[in-house]
Amino acid sequence: MKKLLVIANPYPPMASAGTTRVVRFIRHLPDEGWQPSVLTAKAEGPAAVPPGVRVARAAVPWPKRLLGGGRRSTRINRWVAVPDPYFAWIGPAVLKGREIFRRERFDAILSSSPRASVHLAAAVLSEHADVPWLADYRDPWSTYQFRQYPTQAHRAAHERLEAWALRRAAAVTAVNRPIADDLVARHPWLAGRTHVLPNGFDRAEQPADVRLGDGFWIVHTGRLYGREQQVAAFLEALAAQPPEVKAFFVGVDESRVRPDADRLGLGDRVRVEPLVPLPLALGYQRAADALLLVNGRRPESMSSKVFEYLQAGRPIFAISPAGSAARALFEEVGGGTCVLPDDPMGGPLADFVAAARAGTAPVADPAALGRYELAQLTRELAAILDELAAHPWTADPDDRAPSQEPRR
């Protein structure tokens, strides 16, 4: 069995939506001939650590109060934390990685971002150990829509670091086509080595058995990531619906939803619950009458939960920009009723609710959705890794332009 070093941060026990993709691939990769080991940061949290996987943890020499969010830490991090608040972890991660490579040989390295610091650690270790590296993008790095640069110098620093790292990547995967196309447009040497490897759903994950009570419940699971303006527009449309039409936000800070709900007099028609374990979130999706998807304003913005939504078999009311990855997915598999972020939502929501209650709203085609099952996606990932292991790639040591010469 070939060996893979996965560099990931966050990783359990830290609870984060960012861990889901990595944990799912780690679960299935042994079935495809790859044994993963993990290099991550020391962390605390409630999430279960996957069994049977060796995990090495490097310390984070950076004050914890600057890692946990909040306005003050966010302001500080924008100025000093490049590429992210875990920049000080890169050095310890590289040292820990070198220690790992002294003990055993790996056939490939995989890092998954965000956080972008994992790519910098992976780039250094790839060169040190002469092992091909696959850089996985769950979100953009320097062009991420929610990243706020305090100065142009900060933007340039992120762009230079990203280019430096990607010149050392043997291959790149991205969760959707817009992210992949943007990477190739900005880094032409990635043409032919960039793959779209979507998020998906895992049939092995069983939903909890839950009930939501009386009414027609529209459920949103997961964080909002700065999309409160779109949620406010949705709540205004909800206020015009009959009183039995309700909304439930799971995994959301109440302060991001409740003020608008109270302003609109929605009261107990809007329910908010903080972050819950994945089985419970999946259970709420299955218990819903309909699901709410709130994307950003850029085409590459698409939450990974859309695949869980589709598997739940419920109609989806999606706030998504034109030309987005989410709209393309709905065209392929069905299941989504889309509105533009700045369009009035009252009429479209009323029509959607009526169709959902009548059983005529679109839902995903199970046959088309099968392409996004984790077993299939892991086979695609393993095929990329197999190619890297069979035909190792290295960058030209003089100018770091890609070379097709085999590793020596």
More confident residue, 225 or 208: 208
Contact criterion met (CB below 8 Å) for 251 and 275: yes
Between helix 325-333 and helix 305-312 the angle, nearest 10°, is 20
Question: Taking the alpha carbons of 366, 372, 375, 376 in that order, is the dihedral positive or negative?
Answer: positive
Tell me what pLDDT residue 66 has: 54
Domains and CATH numbers, the chain: 2-200+374-402 (3.40.50.2000), 216-369 (3.40.50.2000)
What was the pLDDT predicted at 303? Answer: 82
Residues ≥6 apart with Cβ < 8 Å to 181: none
Phi, psi for 318 (deg, rounded to 5): -115, 125
> For residue 266, what pLDDT is reported?
96
* Number of helical H runs and strand E runs in the chain: 14, 15
Residue 60, pLDDT score: 87
CA 99 to chain centre: 29
User: What's the chain's length in residues?
Assistant: 408
The tokens for 241 are 């619906």
pLDDT of residue 71: 58
The 3 state secondary structure assigned to 173-206 is: EECCHHHHHHHHHHCHHHCCCEEECCCCECCCCC
pLDDT band at 394; cut points 50, 70, 90: low
| Ranges 35-49, 77-91, 102-116, 369-383: which has the least confidence | 77-91
> In degrees, to the nearest 5, what angle opens at C-alpha 356 toward C-alphas 283 and 225?
55
Cα torsion through 315, 321, 324, 328, rounded to 10: 40
Stretch among 129-138, 269-278, 280-289 having the lowest mean pLDDT = 269-278
Q: For residue range 118-175, what is the model confidence (pLDDT) as tens digits? A: 999 999 999 999 999 999 999 999 988 777 778 899 899 999 999 999 999 999 999 9
User: Structure tokens of 123?
Assistant: 């780039």
> In this structure, are residues 277 and 299 in contact, taking their beta carbons and an 8 Å threshold?
no
Residue 115 near residue 84, CB atoms below 8 Å: yes
The DSSP output letter for 405 is P
Mean pLDDT of the region 97-123: 97
Q: Is the pLDDT of residue 274 over 70?
A: yes
The amino acid present at 205, given as its one-letter code, is E
Rounded average pLDDT over 273-295: 94
Q: Give the mean pLDDT of 88-97.
A: 96
Mean pLDDT of 39-57: 89
Which residues sit opposite 218 in a β-bridge?
247, 290
Residues of the chain above pLDDT 70, percent = 92
Predicted TM-score of the model (pTM): 0.88
**What pLDDT score was predicted for residue 400?**
46
Question: In a 3-state reduction of DSSP, which class is residue 371?
Answer: helix
φ/ψ of 132, rounded to 5, equals -65, 145
The pLDDT, as a whole number, for residue 269 is 97
Question: Is residue 63 very low, low, confident or very high in pLDDT (cuts 50, 70, 90)?
Answer: low
Q: What is the mean pLDDT of the chain?
A: 90
Strand partners, 364: 334
Q: Taking CA 351 as the corner, what is the angle to CA 345 and CA 357, rounded to the nearest 5 degrees?
A: 125
